[in-house]
Amino acid sequence: MQNVGEIDLPEGIGTISNPVCGDITEIYLRIKDGIIQDAKFKSYGCAVTIASASVFTEKIKGKEISGLISGRDEEVVSRLVGLIETELGMLPAEKLHCPPATVQAFFEAICQYNEKAGETQPVSRLKKLIPLVADYYKRGKRDEDDATGT
């Protein structure tokens, strides 16, 4: 498992309690000139949540924030969740709610970073992206409902 731990005095921290099961993910970011220099996480959750945060923090290191959140809102969320899911492979329906928590924690962390820097435009963008993650938490539920005909 890579990137487990905290960063001292990080530029951004995002903490999420997964709305489906309550598992907690915390992302810590070291950011310089808009580039993610380092990313770490702590998780109090299932193996998929831990693997999601590990994969994601590894993939975003060295990336520009502006590039990570560029594109149409839905595209950005789908691309970031996809960064995790392409690595983890096929997940069972009951685990589909795990990866999006990492993406939401990431959005919260860069939101905090921008708030501290007084950057209002990216903050309002991020506040639009965060609710879109909600759909991803429901995916497993929808699959289960389809299977039971509810």
* Positions that interact with ligand FES (CB under 6 A): 18, 20-21, 23, 45-46, 48-49, 95, 97-98
Judged by CB, which is closer to ligand FES: 11, or 108? Answer: 108
Sequential DSSP letters for 68-127: HT-S-HHHHHHHHHHHHHHHH----GGGTTSHHHHHHHHHHHHHHHHHHTT-HHHHHHHH
Provide, rounded to whole angstroms, the least separation between the CB of residue 64 and ligand FES. 28
Provide, rounded to whole angstroms, the least separation between the CB of residue 87 and ligand FES. 16
What single-letter amino acid sits at 31? I
Judged by CB, which is closer to ligand FES: 10, or 45? Answer: 45
Provide, rounded to whole angstroms, the least separation between the CB of residue 99 and ligand FES. 9
Judged by CB, which is closer to ligand FES: 56, or 113? Answer: 56
Burial class (CB in 10 A: 0-12, 13-18, 19+), 109: buried
